[in-house]
Amino acid sequence: MKQVTLGRTGIVTGKNAFGALPIQRVTREYAAMLLRKAFDAGITFFDTARSYSDSEEKIGFALSNVREKLILATKTPSTTAEGFWKDLETSLSLLKTDYIDIYQFHNPSFCPKPGDGTGLYEAMLEAREQGKIRFIGLTNHRLNVAEEAVRSGLYDTLQFPFCYLSTEKDIALVKLCQELNVGFISMKGLSGGLITNSAAAYAWQDQFENALPIWGVQRESELDEFISYIENPPVMDGEIRELIERDRKELIGNFCRACGYCMPCPAGIVINQCARMSQLIRRSPSANWLTEESQKMMLQVENCLNCGQCKKKCPYGLDTPELLRQNLEDYKQILDGTVQV
C-alpha cells in the first residue's frame, strides 16, 4: 500500500483515508460494517467532526477495540474556549478514546492564533499538554485563511478541498504545505459528487506525494472501489487525462462545491443541492433528480427572499442567489422538454 507522511507530525498512513461525514446518513450497524471492513482492508486514518451528528459515536462503537492501530482526526466548530472544551470532551467520550491524534478547528472564518482574544489556540495548547490531543490542525474552504495557517507555523496539518477541479492556487497551497512540512489532508476529492470516476480522482491525487485524500463513504460499493486501489492503484494514463480535461472544461469555475456553509436557508431552500442541480442532473442518472420530491425541492427556489445571507457565507465568493436562479431555469426547461439530458 502506498504511504503518505503528514508533514512534521511524522504520522505515516496509507494513501486511502476514510471520511466519516456520510456515515451519519446510515444506521449504526451498517456504519460499523463499513468502518470494520475499511480497517480490515488496511485503512487506518479516520476523519470525523463534532458537527457530523452521530459519526463520532459510530466510530467509537465500531473501532474502539482497535484504537491503538488507528489515526483519529476530528474537529470542533466552536468559536469560544468554553465551547472548545465541551466539544473535545464530547468527542473523546463518543470516540471511546483518551486522546485524539489530530484535533482540528473546523472551517473558522479566521486563523486562530495565540493572543487573538478568543482563547482558542491557547485551549489547543493546553489540550495537547494534557495529552488529550497529539497534533493541532485546521480545516478550511477559504484559501487566504488556509495559507495564513500554513505560513504561521502554528499548525501541524491543514485540511482543504482538493481534487482535479482545483485551481493553480490550490495546487500551490499543497506544495507550500510540503515546503513548510505541514501535513496536507485532501477533502472533497470527488467535489461533493460532481466527480463520478473514482479511479480518475485517485490517480490525480496520487501525483501529490504529500496529500492524504479522505474519501467520504456511505455505501459498501463505494468502499470496495477505494479498497481495490490499495493493491491496484489507478495510474494517470492517457484515457484518465482525457476524462479529467473534459470534466475541467465542463465544471471548473463558477460552480457550487456543496460545502453547506450557506445553510440553513431562511426560505427553506436546500442551497447546496439546488445551486448545482444542472451538474448533478447531467452527471448522474437524471431520473434520480426528476422525482416529485426533487421537483418540490427545486421549486422552493422560487421562494428565495433575496436576503443575500448565502452569498455572504459562501467561502468561494459565489453569487449564490444568481446560481440558484440559473439552475432553476435550467431545471424547468428540462421538465418541459425544451432541454434534453
Q: Domain residue spans in the chain?
A: 3-245, 271-335
pLDDT tens per residue, range 121-134: 999 999 999 999 99
Banded pLDDT at 249 (limits 50, 70, 90) = confident
Is the Cβ–Cβ distance between 72 and 103 less than 8 Å? no
Cα–Cα distance between 266 and 269 in angstroms, integer?
Answer: 8
Q: Does position 232 have pLDDT exceeding 90, yes or no?
A: yes
pLDDT tens per residue, range 192-225: 888 989 999 999 999 999 999 999 998 999 999 9
Residue 341 confidence (pLDDT): 84
What percent of the chain has pLDDT above 90?
A: 88
Q: Does position 151 have pLDDT exceeding 80, yes or no?
A: yes
Q: Does position 261 have pLDDT exceeding 80, yes or no?
A: yes
Location of C-alpha cell 477533502: 187
Instruction: Give which of 278, 262, 248 is closest to 171, Cα–Cα.
Output: 248
Q: Check residues 258 and 89 and name the one with the higher pLDDT.
A: 89
How many degrees, rounded to 5, is the angle at CA 97 between CA 93 and CA 98? 100
pLDDT tens per residue, range 67-87: 999 999 999 999 999 999 999
Location of C-alpha cell 489515526: 71
Beta bridge partners of 213: 186
Location of C-alpha cell 500554513: 150
Mean pLDDT for 309-331 is 93
Is the Cβ–Cβ distance between 328 and 338 less than 8 Å? no
Is the pTM higher than 0.85? The answer reads: yes
Residue 279 confidence (pLDDT): 86
Q: Is 260 left (phi over 0), alpha (psi -120 to 50) or beta?
A: left
Instruction: Extract the C-alpha cell encoding 228.
Output: 481495490
Cα–Cα distance between 115 and 100 in angstroms, integer?
Answer: 24
Residue 194 confidence (pLDDT): 84
Note the helical H segments in the chain.
28-40, 55-63, 81-95, 120-129, 143-152, 168-179, 198-205, 220-231, 238-251, 271-274, 277-283, 292-299, 309-313, 320-335
Residue 284 confidence (pLDDT): 77
Is the Cβ–Cβ distance between 204 and 163 less than 8 Å? yes
> Which of 17-26, 109-118, 136-145, 244-253 is predicted with the least confidence, judged by mean pLDDT?
244-253
Cα–Cα distance between 184 and 219 in angstroms, integer?
Answer: 26
Instruction: Extract the C-alpha cell encoding 290.
Output: 426528476
Banded pLDDT at 158 (limits 50, 70, 90) = very high
Location of C-alpha cell 495510474: 235
Q: Check residues 172 and 340 and name the one with the higher pLDDT.
A: 172
Phi, psi of 77 (to 5 degrees): -90, 5
Is the Cβ–Cβ distance between 275 and 324 less than 8 Å? yes
Q: Does position 112 have pLDDT exceeding 90, yes or no?
A: yes
Q: Does position 59 have pLDDT exceeding 80, yes or no?
A: yes
- Distance of alpha carbon 81 from the chain centroid: 24
For 10, 75, 243, 247, 326, the CA distances from 270, given in Å and listed in that order, are 40, 24, 30, 25, 15
Give the CATH number of domain 3-245; options: 3.20.20.100, 3.40.50.150, 3.90.1150.10, 3.40.50.720: 3.20.20.100
Banded pLDDT at 13 (limits 50, 70, 90) = very high
Residue 60 confidence (pLDDT): 98
